[in-house]
Chain A
């Protein structure tokens, strides 16, 4: 029996299929490129070609695009990233106490006690130190992002970079480049600055207890891992499927949801051939002026978001109930 998990994030859309024994059968890492519908459809198309006929017992979604993805595929569970990451990590290792998760645009810390989340925090007003920023710097330095971490490890010396704000960090890096420091030292300095920023901003007031899992796309960066270990003074673990943990969590949550409900709502891989469209408009019904988005599949509305009073989304649910 197989379970599907989809994590629609700001930068990447991850799809995963796992079996009953938690074995990862397939993982797909696609770029969202600001078009979550396309990314999900593209992912399903790849899965359809490879695994047509496979039975999906449950499907779950997570990430910032979890609601739209859930509407598209008919998910059994829609969960926030924090819970999804925690569930996945605990499934792999019961002894995890802290999760450092750095994704495309947000970073999180999750602490756990007795096998449940006890506290968490997300970056609040600033995205300095997240994946997008590292991506951009790699691009500016003409270094492939995959090799960024190796450069940092080569450095013998670290240069202090102002990491409080992404824009200032960038100007500080340019300044240091112009002073003649070499690339690897600057990259190491950047990793150190980002870790410092993470620990004083996101991790403020949170106890980082071992064992620590480092998850999210940025965990691929060896320089960041080393900088964290250096700052914390102990080893941190990058799990095998570090960039898929959200999707794995979603699949696991869906699995238990279906155990309760009995059957899955997943619409199947054929969705890849449906025509999806999203239309947004400002509702003029009252002074709240909600921005409403409507998702249309083959000319039939299947989902509505953003209306506070539920005028559109409830209407949809009623018609759904009538159909059943």
Chain B
């Protein structure tokens, strides 16, 4: 058995550590790129959402490198994502590929027994004992949390750094180094050292950088290839950004759902505009927009893939929030046709907009 998994942001680091720790053979698909997208689009329905196509590209590239088992987290139907595993299985078969799928669903959907059965397929080839397996899983989750924290710090401090580009360089070096680690413990040490490094960069506390919240559909905000590296671009513009949705948020949120104590802050913030879950992460998007304006952000950028129903709903609510609170919000729709020129123009114009608004306010007071 040689397992593989689709990309989503930095999740490959945690996955690598997990499989390294379990001593299970694995293939990390090549990073998302035009070629992954082309392959994926070729084998996907045209109207399908962008994440689906990229995942198909990841699978096929990994299968060509010898993988035979695909792991995916499912979530039984909050939106089209719930159908991903089934559809992808069928499409891969149709295209002549043979792969086993292991869909990791929440216990509330498939039962705890079924979940363990599925996890067991994955771990039965591991020579590790039960205790060691749990230890490895714990380490993998720790790695996921660490890299998310590092990203968050880098995106935040970038507006305050004394030497332009420090955060970006540290973040990129960190990822490049982490992928070279061959066991979970080593990776944890490395990530910890990078986190410490970020916490000790020279910052100018008197700076008051522009602050933008990145909100929207979870895959397209997390996976930089889909949003044309928007966070990196904003780092170049010395804008501090914050994105609440991350793999660690997702895991925590999913784990807390059965207890009904998941994302209380978001639920509270979204109450006035969207008081119920309508699928996907629409409610989170609305909640984050409200939280961003309450936290003194200068604006928010919503990103979602073409045709994403939940986000279309939130897109139509956002102008009301924007108007009620005089808070700039821009929506960006991405798909395989997205041209970089128009995308960059919008981002630049949005940064200009909030910058000039601020200058204007300062000059009037």
Contacts and interface: CB of A to CB of B under 8 A. Distances in A.
Interface of A: 64, 79-83, 106, 114-120, 122, 124-125, 205, 287-289, 308-309
B306 A82 contact: no
A287 B31 contact: yes
A120 B353 contact: yes
Contacts of A79: 348, 352
B345 A122 contact: yes
9 contacts: A80-B345, A80-B349, A83-B348, A83-B353, A120-B346, A122-B342, A125-B306, A125-B337, A289-B34
A117 B364 CA distance: 16
Interface in B292-335: 306, 316, 319, 322, 328, 333, 335
Contacts of A119: 322, 328, 353
Interface in B188-235: 229, 232
B305 to A, nearest CB: 12
B172 A309 contact: yes
B360 A115 contact: yes
Contact of A308 (B34, B229, B316): B229
Given A119-B328, A289-B35, A82 B360 contact: no
Nearest to B360: A116
Contacts of B342: 106, 122
A81 B33 CA distance: 28
- List 7 tightest A-B contacts by C-beta distance, closest first: A82-B349, A80-B348, A83-B352, A80-B345, A116-B356, A205-B319, A116-B360
Most buried by A among B172, B335, B350: B350
Contacts of A117: 349, 352-353, 356-357
Contact of B316 (A118, A125, A205, A289): A205
B341 interface: yes
Contact of B333 (A80, A81, A124): A124
B328 A118 contact: yes
Nearest to B334: A124
A288 B32 CA distance: 8
Contacts of A80: 344-345, 348-349, 352
Which range contains the number of B residues in contact with the other chain? 20 to 34
Contact of B341 (A64, A125, A205): A64
Contact of A287 (B33, B349, B356): B33
B30 interface: yes
B330 to A, nearest CB: 8
Contacts of A118: 328, 353, 357
A120 B319 CA distance: 12
Given A125-B306, A125-B333, A82 B31 contact: no
Given A116-B357, A122-B345, A124-B333, 13 more contacts: A80-B345, A80-B352, A82-B346, A82-B352, A115-B360, A116-B353, A117-B349, A119-B353, A287-B31, A287-B33, A289-B34, A308-B229, A309-B172
A119 B327 CA distance: 10
Contacts of A82: 345-346, 349, 352
Given A106-B342, A308-B229, A287 B328 contact: no
Given A117-B353, A120-B353, A308-B232, A288 B31 contact: yes
Most buried by B among A64, A79, A80, A81: A80
A115 B356 CA distance: 9
B345 to A, nearest CB: 5
Contacts of B172: 309
A120 B346 CA distance: 9
Given A106-B342, A125-B333, A83 B349 contact: yes
A319 to B, nearest CB: 17
A120 B335 CA distance: 21
Contacts of A115: 360
A289 B243 CA distance: 27
